[in-house]
A and B are shown apart, each in its own frame.
Chain A
Amino acid sequence: IAGITQAPTSQILAAGRRMTLRCTQDMRHNAMYWYRQDLGLGLRLIHYSNTAGTTGKGEVPDGYSVSRANTDDFPLTLASAVPSQTSVYFCASSAAGPTDTQYFGPGTRLTVL
């Protein structure tokens, strides 16, 4: 069982480019989340999805969009990357929904130049 996978592992991106971070889980978890982690700030929620077909905004949603076409996949898109989006991005999921414990993927390290 893979759990949660994220791709790419790391990426260097020119400012202004479009980028999609991929997240796939094979646990049939209902809820999925995207966080960014920056030094000294901790993990901050970008977007979430409590179930397939629904999404919501977290604490820092500006510049990011998500979709949840099915249970397994939850891609995060940066439409036009800016240097302040340089961060480590973690995808997470929880079984029944937001009342359950969240489990994290391995992360994507993104650098925007």
Chain B
Amino acid sequence: GQNIDQPTEMTATEGAIVQINCTYQTSGFNGLFWYQQHAGEAPTFLSYNVLDGLEEKGRFSSFLSRSKGYSYLLLKELQMKDSASYLCAVRDGDYKLSFGAGTTVTVRA
């Protein structure tokens, strides 16, 4: 099976930066996704990496190292509305998406 690990919880202060790490071991690799999920709501797409390097999208950036099986999601200038779960998902060689258990980020004033 697939193995995707990310921290369970993180807490940060409004205006700060938080980095959520994700490590993976999968059968083949066809891209890594980050989703945001607010409590009681559906996951919403944040970012996609298939090549090594950094993808920046406003306050959110995502990094990928395929050789290390590692990604991170960087959230800058944190706002209260960023309090949510962040899901790391890897698309394997069969194009199936496997998800980590999610990291709950709490932003404090």
Contacts and interface: CB of A to CB of B under 8 A. Distances in A.
Given A99-B30, A101-B33, A90 B96 contact: no
Interface string B23-47: 0000000100101000001111100
Interface stretch (A67-75, A76-84, A102-110): A102-110
Interface residues of B, number: 22
Contacts of A98: 91, 95-96
A99 B96 contact: no
Interface residues of A, dominant DSSP: loop
Most chain B CB within 10 A, of A41, A43, A48, A105, is at A43
A44 B95 contact: no
Given A43-B87, A98-B95, A101-B48, A106 B100 contact: no
Contacts of B91: 98
Contacts of A104: 35, 42-44
B99 A58 contact: no
A40 interface: yes
Nearest to B44: A104
A47 to B, nearest CB: 11
A39 B4 CA distance: 15
B105 interface: no
A33 to B, nearest CB: 8
A106 B101 contact: no
B96 A58 contact: yes
Nearest to A41: B101
Contact of A42 (B41, B44, B45, B100): B100
Given A45-B98, A107-B41, 16 more contacts: A40-B101, A42-B99, A42-B100, A42-B101, A43-B87, A43-B89, A58-B96, A59-B1, A59-B96, A59-B98, A90-B42, A98-B95, A102-B33, A104-B44, A105-B42, A106-B42
Interface of A: 33, 40-45, 48, 58-59, 90, 97-99, 101-107
Interface of B: 1, 4, 30, 33, 35, 41-45, 48, 87, 89, 91, 95-102
